[in-house]
A = this chain, B = another copy of it.
Amino acid sequence: MILKGCNRFQMIGLEAVAKLAQVSSATASRALSRPDKVALETRTRVLQAAEELGYQPNHLASGLRKGKSRTIGVIISDILNPGQAMLAKGIQDAAAKSDYTVFLFNSDEESDKERRALESLRGHMPQGLIVVPTPGAKTNLKLVPNLPTIELDRASGLKNAHTVMVDNIGGTTTAINHLIGLGHKRIAMIVGDFAISTAVERHQGYREALEHAGIPYREDLVLAGHHREDGGRTAAHKLLSKPLKQRPTALFVGNNEMTIGAVLATRALGLSIPEDISIVGFDDSRWAMTLHPALSVVSQPAYDLGYLACETLLGLLERHKPPNASSVRLATNFISRESTAPPRKT
């Protein structure tokens, strides 16, 4: 009681507002959040007092009392990846619209970092979670067993999960069909890590499109790039070093980073795009557009994806929906630029 007047953040609390408005703190609280429960005259008095003192509610306290922190946790794989950054932006905007605040973390595709992020998060009592799951998510998510969670961009494989993803299979088949339509027969693919659902689905799309066109699936044309630029580079190098007759005439790359590597490897080998090799990447970006020749890509509605994921989560929080699994797929968009052309006549 001794230090009552000297709070640490020189906080102006409800108590102070109440005193100035000559009401109890209970009434002051109601005046601010339950206008109908308080006489108009009293209410204006409280509002004025709050204004005068520059009162700002303390979310820690109200969060503690109400059991709602008005925060959500977000774990993306890598803020430096433009697609992921776009996801984050969509989430942020949706959250801000409903007055939620976001704790943002990067997993850098490492399950360990994901786990640490979840541990940090836990103590802050977020009301929900949006996560781009790493391969370890199935285990890690047990750390927050009762937290409403949306899996974004990929699925962890957990039953009863809510997911918001793109139509990877459809996006890929469109791209491959485009290449087939141009006359390509030897179409290679650089795939990501099969522990990540997008890689599996994109691979499946590739396979299905070939099959559908009656082109046999050849294992030697599918190399793993491990989601990284370096992996893309070495995979592309290997594919493009084949003797001309076996060398693919088109290359489909399963993600952003690997595509850069593939393009650089192509340049390094002195091959020209699209004359020697057509290339299609997954996920659009600034560099894909400004590249010369500009890259044809399967583009994802990343902003919408993030926005939608957040809206879905908040919907889950507001109306106490049953915890049934839900699954949303957004369509991709194939953008044909300059990196694809018919194969050279042989």
Binding site for B on A (CB under 8 A): 7-10, 56-61, 63-64, 67, 69, 71, 79-80, 82, 85-86, 88-89, 92, 96, 99, 101-106, 116, 120-125, 146, 260, 263-264, 285-287, 290-292
Contact = CB atoms under 8 A, between A and B. Distances in A.
Nearest to A287: B287
Contact of A85 (B57, B58, B60, B85): B85
Task: List the 4 closest pairs (A to B, CB-CB), nearest first.
Answer: A287-B287, A8-B67, A292-B292, A59-B123
Contacts of A102: 103-104
A61 B102 CA distance: 19
Given A104-B104, A290-B287, A122 B82 contact: no
B96 A116 contact: yes
Contacts of A263: 290
Given A8-B67, A286-B287, 10 more contacts: A7-B67, A9-B146, A58-B64, A64-B64, A79-B85, A79-B89, A101-B120, A101-B121, A103-B103, A286-B286
A32 B63 CA distance: 23
Nearest to A8: B67
Contacts of A88: 79, 104
Contact of A291 (B67, B82, B146, B290): B290
A123 B9 contact: no
Contact of A89 (B86, B106, B125, B146): B106
A15 to B, nearest CB: 14
Chain copies in the assembly? 2
A80 B86 contact: yes
B120 A10 contact: no
B101 A101 contact: no
A245 to B, nearest CB: 29
Contacts of A285: 286-287
A85 B83 CA distance: 12
B103 A101 contact: yes
Nearest to A9: B67
Given A64-B64, A80-B86, A71 B124 contact: yes
Given A124-B101, A287-B287, A10 B85 contact: no
Contacts of A79: 79, 85, 88-89, 92
21 contacts: A9-B125, A56-B122, A57-B123, A58-B64, A60-B63, A60-B125, A71-B124, A79-B79, A79-B88, A80-B82, A80-B86, A89-B106, A92-B105, A99-B120, A101-B120, A102-B103, A103-B103, A260-B290, A263-B290, A264-B290, A285-B286
A9 to B, nearest CB: 6
Contacts of A106: 89, 92
Interface-central residue, A9, A60, A101, A103, by most chain B CB under 10 Å: A60
